[in-house]
């Protein structure tokens, strides 16, 4: 993988963070309010449509190799199993031939710990974060983890970064204010830490990173400051828009949820258990409005139209059809999240059943 020149001297936005008490703002001014610091970042303006926030010393990242396979697995269920079962399940995914596993973090295991467990238990599969929350760890911590994992497991770790959601950041005691500026400044500081501070054995080349992105401005940032985008809870029409913004050379990996079940009532009941949790978050509903969905579609866990768009159900052919829609719209890989009726279970039966069809794509 081609390396790039990294580094600038701008600190990331750590606005009012009581956990780390970090100082720093991008071209901003510090002010004091009682015994808590606040930071004013209004002088760093958000970009116009599709134009990323760039620092003076920033350079466009080169295209990343796009050899992660057409279909991967996405799962957030590992938190509910002990570590031994997690290692066994991910090793089975590796043995089945799935090329990539995506996993994220909410209030369970720290995601980079899960990544370490997964990489150590396997020999081939790529492990990707979907996503690692930037406000859950400072930029040096994130950079050190990425570089250490990339050196220990060459070409097998893909770092997905995201600002996440205000509700989740409130739980962590972190400020969620201007996500685009926060992400741009965080990337500045990650690059500076990699160039100036990290002192362990480095990996060969520059390890890849992608950004969680839905709207056009964050997609533009993913194009200019990362190796692509990981999208979530999106229709195939969004994939086409994302590809147009990213251009032809950046990674685009949408997540696609699915219920492997034939009964429409039962399948939609499970699907609504999934959609209902995300329709409470304005990031997702705002994005879906761009594609013709409205308030009536968001009520009671989602209308049939919304549910069937976001979480198709049926047999392997139904899933293959939706995967093909994303690929035809410009996705490099589709990360399939199979839902299970067991709230704390892993869909290992479904992974096995779907493997022959999905791996033939």
Write out pLDDT tens, residues 121-138: 999 999 999 999 999 999
What tokens appear for 77 in the block? Answer: 């269920």
Residue 60 has a pLDDT of 60
With a cut of 60, say whether residue 35 has pLDDT above it: no
- Evaluate if residue 99 carries a pLDDT over 80: yes
Mean pLDDT to the nearest integer, 318-338 = 98
C-beta contacts of 343-349 below 8 A and 24+ residues apart: 343/80, 343/273, 344/77, 344/80, 344/81, 345/77, 345/80, 346/75, 346/77, 346/78, 346/80, 346/81, 346/85, 346/89, 347/75, 347/77, 347/260, 348/89, 348/92
Average pLDDT for 5-13: 33
Q: Which fold has domain 70-130+232-361?
A: TIM Barrel (3.20.20)
Residue 202: is it exposed, middle or buried by C-beta count within 10 angstroms (0-12/13-18/19+)? middle
Give residue 53's pLDDT band: very low, low, confident or very high (50, 70, 90).
very low
| Confidence check: pLDDT of 44 > 50 | no
For residue 178, pLDDT over 70 is answered with yes
In degrees and rounded to multiples of 5, residue 105 shows phi and psi of -145, 140
Give SS3 for 40. Answer: strand
Q: What is the mean pLDDT of residues 177-191?
A: 95
Is the pLDDT reported for residue 84 higher than 60?
A: yes
* Domain edges within the chain: 1-42+140-230, 70-130+232-361
The model's pTM: 0.84
Q: Which residue has the tokens 């054995």?
A: 201
Look at residue 63 in the predicted model and tell me its pLDDT: 62
pLDDT at residue 54 in the model: 45
For position 180, what pLDDT does the model report?
96
- For 238-284, write each residue's pLDDT tens digit: 999 999 999 999 999 999 999 999 999 999 999 999 999 999 999 99
| Lowest mean pLDDT, pick from 80-89, 121-130, 160-169 | 160-169
What are the pLDDT digits (tens) for 285-305?
Answer: 999 999 999 999 999 999 999
Which token pair is 35?
């015994």
Residue 317: pLDDT over 50: yes
């Amino acid at each position: 993988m081609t390396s790039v020149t990294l580094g600038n001297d701008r600190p990331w936005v750590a606005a009012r963070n009581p956990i780390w008490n970090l100082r720093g703002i991008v071209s901003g001014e510090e002010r004091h309010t009682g015994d808590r610091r606040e930071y004013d970042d209004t002088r760093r303006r958000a970009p116009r449509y599709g134009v990323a926030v760039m620092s003076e010393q920033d350079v466009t990242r080169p295209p990343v190799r796009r050899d992660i396979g057409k279909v991967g697995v996405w799962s957030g269920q590992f938190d509910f199993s002990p570590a031994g079962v997690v290692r066994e399940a991910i090793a089975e995914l590796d043995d089945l031939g799935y090329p990539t596993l995506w996993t994220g973090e909410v209030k369970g295991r720290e995601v980079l710990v899960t990544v370490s467990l997964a990489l150590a238990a396997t020999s081939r599969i790529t492990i990707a974060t979907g996503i690692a929350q930037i406000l859950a760890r400072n930029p040096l911590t994130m950079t050190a983890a990425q570089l250490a994992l990339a050196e220990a497991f060459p070409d097998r770790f893909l770092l997905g970064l995201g600002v996440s959601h205000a509700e989740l950041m409130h739980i962590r005691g972190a400020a969620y204010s201007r996500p685009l500026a926060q992400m741009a400044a965080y990337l500045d500081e990650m690059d500076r830490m990699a160039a100036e501070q990290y002192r362990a054995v480095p990996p060969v080349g520059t390890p890849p990173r992608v950004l969680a992105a839905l709207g056009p401005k964050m997609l533009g940032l993913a194009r200019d400051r990362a190796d692509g985008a990981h999208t979530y809870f999106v229709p195939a029409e969004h994939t086409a828009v994302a590809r147009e913004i990213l251009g032809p050379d950046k990674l685009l990996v949408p997540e696609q949820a699915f219920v492997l079940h034939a009964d429409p009532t039962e399948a939609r009941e499970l699907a609504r258990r999934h959609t209902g949790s995300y329709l409470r978050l304005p990031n997702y509903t705002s994005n879906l409005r761009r594609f013709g969905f409205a308030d009536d579609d968001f009520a009671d866990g989602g209308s049939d139209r919304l549910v069937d768009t976001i979480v198709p159900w049926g047999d392997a052919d139904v899933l293959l059809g939706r995967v093909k829609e994303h690929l035809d719209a410009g996705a490099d890989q589709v990360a399939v999240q199979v839902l299970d009726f067991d709230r704390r279970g892993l869909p290992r039966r479904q992974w096995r059943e779907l493997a022959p069809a999905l791996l033939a794509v």
